[in-house]
Amino acid sequence: MKPRLWIHGCFLVLVPIGILARRLVTGSWLPPQAISPAVYLLTQWTAFPLYLLRAVVPFDPSFYRYHPPAPWPPDLPTLCWAATTLAIVILAVWLRRRAPEWSFAVAWLAAGLLPSSSIVSL
């Protein structure tokens, strides 16, 4: 592991260097947010079942398809998708002992989507 440590270190150093370079060139750490964080979080929450469906049943060659921002106040379809996400989360927690692979898959999908799509609404 030690002989390759410097290679991994170089890649890890690239992230802060890139963020710092963006700050120096543009004057901001990240691009401005496209929509409010609350609406973006609701949009991501309601889109989670579709991401899970695409991961389980690969009927679409693209994992991501544009999801329009959720309306505020939420309409009936938005509330239904939000309830579906809540049911998936509750089921994953409830089945963590009987079906740990499925619970792990749900948690892993959420963890994988979080940094790329939910922390900053670009």
Write down the pLDDT at residue 55. Answer: 83
What's residue 121's pLDDT?
A: 57
Whether this prediction's pTM lies above 0.85 is answered by no
Q: How confident is the model at residue 63 (pLDDT cuts 50, 70, 90)?
A: low
Structure tokens at 107: 């948690």
pLDDT digits (tens, 9 = 90+) for 18-59: 889 989 999 888 777 778 878 888 888 898 998 888 888 877
For the chain, what percent of residues have pLDDT higher than 70? Answer: 87
